[in-house]
Structure 1
Amino acid sequence: MNKSIIVLVLLIVFCKKTYAQNDPNLILGKEDESELSFHVYDSLIIKKDYLKLEEVKNDTPENLMRSILSASSQEWIDYNTLGGSIKSSKRKEDYFVKIKQMSIDKNYIKLIHKVSLLINNTPTEIIKFYFKQENTKDVSGCYVLQKVNDRWYKVSNNTTSNLSIIVMRLKTNVLIELFSGKTSNILTKELYNAINSGGYMDLSKLENIFFSWYSPLKKNEKLNLFIDSKTW
């Protein structure tokens, strides 16, 4: 069973700066308040369930994830992408051959957690996952998805957006504690207090603090505490 953890109101103060530069096809709003929900998946496995594009609806974020993993043609990738062929990543034929030959049971996606919010009144979800591949180590990833006209789309170049990097790298339990404010760890409490004010979470502050752990010098104590070791 999947379990929903937290719903809160936060202040989005950095969407315009972050996404406009890296994701020109992402639907944007001005700086605004938005209700955010955080959801932890309970062992939800996504497999290559679709055999042809005609089977795909992309009516939920999770079904879009199935479609992304199943996509065996450039047309299919375009269909999954907000902006279609103009914005989609381009793959060569040998990639699609591998997808078609890929073992369904040995190559799949395990969903970890997601953040759901509205950007300019557009439903947006940021989903963290592990891609389990045959004979290789698990690969972490994070997709930004948006719902337009009752269909979900993958936003291209989403891994370059700062929020998706944060959602991917932070441990699930750390995000739960940051969103709820319930923690016994001193460093986590300090981080919570630094990014929250007046009942709102300031994502621009979280972004600045997060990247300060990496530069100019790595803060290994905080990286070891907060960062998922499976992520890049």
Structure 2
Amino acid sequence: MLEKKSEFTIYPITVLQDNIVWVWVHNCNAVVVDPSVSEPVEKWLLEKDISLKAILQTHHHDDHIGGTQKLIKRWPDAQVVASKKELKRIPFQTLSVSDNDIFYLMDSEIKVIEVHGHTDNHIAFYLSKKNCKYNILFPGDTLFGGGCGRLLEGTPFQMFESLNKLNLLPENTKIYSAHEYTENNLKWALKLEPKNISIIERLKLVQIKRHKGISSLPSTLSEERKTNLFLRAKNVQEFTILRRHKDKWKC
């Protein structure tokens, strides 16, 4: 059994090539975020004797929902929370939510933030809890360590607006992105700003973690404001130039 803690306890399960399935645990229950596949998640929960209470889905891509249906077969009472606008592409959702909706799970308030750009109807989940030192953001594929998602369905304007929404959150917000892209993103950023001390120092720390097999995440919004070029873009035009440059860049 895991130790009981009053603050957020969130564990990473690394799957596929670079996906991270986040497991938020409270007492003997868990909420899983964007389960790409089911087997490692189910094994992790069963080994620790933890029951699945809910699954949070940020968007419809298979590497985010691919394991959901098998998990809810194992835990049929678990809720599946997803965008109301994605009933066709996430048909197994049981709690359909919209922008600015608030719901509660495991003694925490969760706010839904609509963040178009990577896909239409992409949402992020923002968690807050009384007497906790920090809040939590699950941004899916909208905000990464040092980067942001590719524009697969949305426009540069939509992604720029979405990042601005997230940038309004408190600076100590912990960010649990869905992919381990931080090192690559920071290498790209350093090519554009080779004298940026914040990027240099963060990249060194990330490389040490990755060498030890440790995830670079979570980051904080404060850290992203210093080192994430997309989050620092002053306008849509600047963001568009950065996104196009990153799309063509090879490490």
Q: Is the structural similarity TM-score above 0.5?
A: no
Structure with higher RCO (Cα < 8 A, 6+ apart): 1
TM-score, normalising length from structure 2?
0.27
TM-score, normalising length from structure 1?
0.28
